Amino acid sequence: MAELTEQVKHLVARARELCADDETQQGLAAVERRLDEPLRVAIAGKVKAGKSTLLNALVGEQLAKTDAGECTKIVTWYQHGHTYRVTLHMTDGTSRPARFSRESGPIEIDLGGAAAEQVARIVVEWPTKRLVDVTLIDTPGVASINSSVSDRALAFLTPDDDRPVEADAVLYLMRHMHADDLSFLESFHDDELADASPINAIGLLSRADEVAVGRPDAMRVAERIAARYRTDERLRKLCQTVLPVGGLLAETAATLTQDEFEALQQLADHDRKQLDGLMLSADRFVADTGPATNRASTADGGPAVDRQACTVPPLVRRHLLDRFGLFGVRVALPLIRQGRVATAGDLAKALDSRSGIVALREDLLERFANRRDVLRARSALVSVDRLLAGFSSGAAVEIGSEIERIRAGAHAFAEIRLLNDCRRGLVTLGGVEDGELERLLGTAGTSPAARLGLRSDAEPCDLRAALLAEIEKWRRKGAHPLASKDVTDAASVLVRTCEGALADLH
């Protein structure tokens, strides 16, 4: 893989030698720098899909504001820095430092009198280890009522002029799959290689805890829905996988305070029946409990609750609901009552494990971080291609054919193409399970064990034997006299994949 990066770096350097004009030079210099920068992952989706909350959950801190505000309309980059710094990059090409403050909640950024429309992007530098390998980019909600906001998100993710694509990979949040989501995902494809490429996109069924109106089995129901989406032909062409995630639960788990835990403990001490009544709906949970409503019959027909006896004030309950969601409260209270969690730390762990964030982090590592070089090389080639699109000089033609040579020759790209072709139904390998083929191509992870579908602690001798068997199998398939060209080509990619994995073992 390092070889691929080297090839691309060499190509960019050559392009810089050949291209004289300043603007292209600057663009190429940026492409060059980017090859050494952390992977850029954009978080996209419709308004209020939970993008900023998920960003916070991934960083493990409340950085991004999650309610309405001017800043949610601006593309905001969160990247690793040695000091805390916020910079505004204006649409006129200038940039300036911004004043910001942070007390207990998210960062408050002062635009210094500028209108959101004048700010092209905000860059937040923050010294946290979670941002060392990845830069996270929070984008404004698409398909919003305010179409200029939505346009900005689309322009960032799918520029249609000759600007390079800025993100290497995208997490696309959808609450329930919708025609708008599909057309958005379809537009996140920028060149022949990326055309309908699932390689750099993961779909997320977000706010998963709200599925099934926050019932205790909400996450399991969400997992079933996500599993259905994973087999949806249209989605399979567009993203690698679909996972359920409860960003709010994960954000709260990462930032849980002792006060919040104590408030939950206090609630958990209440009479069981009373609690059940309180947790019937969000409205009941936060209802004011003055003496007049004591034992009053309820508007939603549920059993009357002796709400006056609830010693946790409504304001605190409102806060708990905002932080945990109804599902989170419903999960936390029994855990505390049954003594299964005794401290705020225990509760944080329990919520974290239910939120789906652990699986998402692992997936990000397997699917994006381990393929970082390929994804970055891919973005760099797209960018150089775009930067030189308007040129017809000999130099541009030379670079153009070099790009084609790298794309055709790099095995990592051959794997991507094969995966795309399979998902689009262009290649079918008789008698081979799709899942097996995808696994070999690294969709479940790029380690030898992940490619073979074996446990991560499998013995090297077992891995070796399994790889040799795969190589033998694919050689035979490819050499079969009745094999079509598709099958022969696919088989040679897979043989090379397995040989590469074998070399990795050594």
Ligand X SMILES: Nc1nc2c(ncn2[C@@H]2O[C@H](COP(=O)(O)OP(=O)(O)OP(=O)(O)O)[C@@H](O)[C@H]2O)c(=O)[nH]1
* Contact set with Mg ion (CB under 5 A): 51-52, 72
Minimum gap (Å) between residue 504 Cβ and ligand X:
37
- Cβ contact 490:418 at 8 Å: yes
Minimum gap (Å) between residue 173 Cβ and Mg ion:
10
DSSP conformation class of 390: T
Nearest to 153 by CA among 134, 168, 166, 164: 166
The helix (H) or strand (E) run that includes residue 355 is helix 344-355
Centre a 10 Å sphere on the Cβ of residue 464 and count the other Cβ atoms it contains.
15
Sign of CA dihedral 27, 149, 242, 330: positive
SS3 for 76?
strand
Rounded alpha-carbon distances, angstroms, from residue 67 to 52, 53, 61, 70, 505: 9, 10, 16, 10, 48
- Number of residue whose CB is nearest Mg ion: 52
Binding mask 186-225 for ligand X (x = CB under 6 A): ---------------------x-xx---------------
Nearest to 379 by CA among 78, 141, 37, 44: 37
Choose, by CB under 6 A, the member of 27, 38, 106, 247 that binds ligand X.
Answer: 247
Minimum gap (Å) between residue 242 Cβ and ligand X:
15
Minimum gap (Å) between residue 78 Cβ and Mg ion:
12
Q: Which is nearer to ligand X, 254 or 495 (CB)?
A: 254
Binding mask 324-353 for ligand X (x = CB under 6 A): -x----------------------------
Q: Which stretch binds ligand X (CB under 6 A): 4-12, 44-52, 434-442, 492-500?
A: 44-52
Q: Which is nearer to Mg ion, 68 or 408 (CB)?
A: 68
- Per CB under 6 A, 50 contacts ligand X: yes
Minimum gap (Å) between residue 138 Cβ and Mg ion:
6
Q: Which is nearer to Mg ion, 138 or 166 (CB)?
A: 138
The binder of 248, among Mg ion, ligand X, none, by C-beta within 5 to 8 A per type, is: ligand X
Cα R_g (the chain), whole angstroms: 26
Q: Which stretch binds ligand X (CB under 6 A): 16-24, 43-51, 231-239, 313-321?
A: 43-51
Q: Which is nearer to Mg ion, 139 or 197 (CB)?
A: 139
DSSP 145-174: SSHHHHHHHHHHHS--SSSPP--SEEEEEE
The binder of 73, among Mg ion, ligand X, none, by C-beta within 5 to 8 A per type, is: none
- Per CB under 6 A, 72 contacts ligand X: yes
Minimum gap (Å) between residue 277 Cβ and ligand X:
21
- Per CB under 6 A, 386 contacts ligand X: no
The binder of 168, among ligand X, Mg ion, none, by C-beta within 5 to 8 A per type, is: none
Structure token pair of residue 412: 């990592």
Residues 440, 434: Cα–Cα separation, whole Å = 10
Beta-bridged to residue 76, according to DSSP, are 122, 138
User: Tokens 């068997």, residue?
Assistant: 469
Q: Which is nearer to Mg ion, 51 or 330 (CB)?
A: 51
Residues 460, 452: Cα–Cα separation, whole Å = 12
Minimum gap (Å) between residue 200 Cβ and ligand X:
20
Interacting residues with ligand X between 113 and 172 (CB under 6 A)? 140-141
Minimum gap (Å) between residue 45 Cβ and ligand X:
6
The binder of 374, among Mg ion, ligand X, none, by C-beta within 5 to 8 A per type, is: none
Nearest to 186 by CA among 250, 139, 142: 142
Beta-bridged to residue 41, according to DSSP, are 136, 169
- Per CB under 6 A, 51 contacts ligand X: yes
User: Tokens 């790009």, residue?
Assistant: 403
Q: Which stretch binds ligand X (CB under 6 A): 218-226, 246-254, 255-263, 305-313?
A: 246-254
Show the CA angle centred on residue 36, arms to residues 33 and 39, nearest 5°.
105
In the chain, the largest separation of any two C-alpha atoms, in whole Å, equals 86
Q: Which is nearer to ligand X, 33 or 176 (CB)?
A: 176
Contacts of 367 (CB under 8 A, 6+ apart): 202, 240, 241, 443, 445
SS3 for 108?
strand
Q: What is the total count of residues that contact ligand X (CB under 6 A)?
A: 18
Q: Which is nearer to Mg ion, 72 or 265 (CB)?
A: 72
Binding site for ligand X (CB under 6 A): 47-53, 66, 72, 140-141, 207, 209-210, 246-248, 325
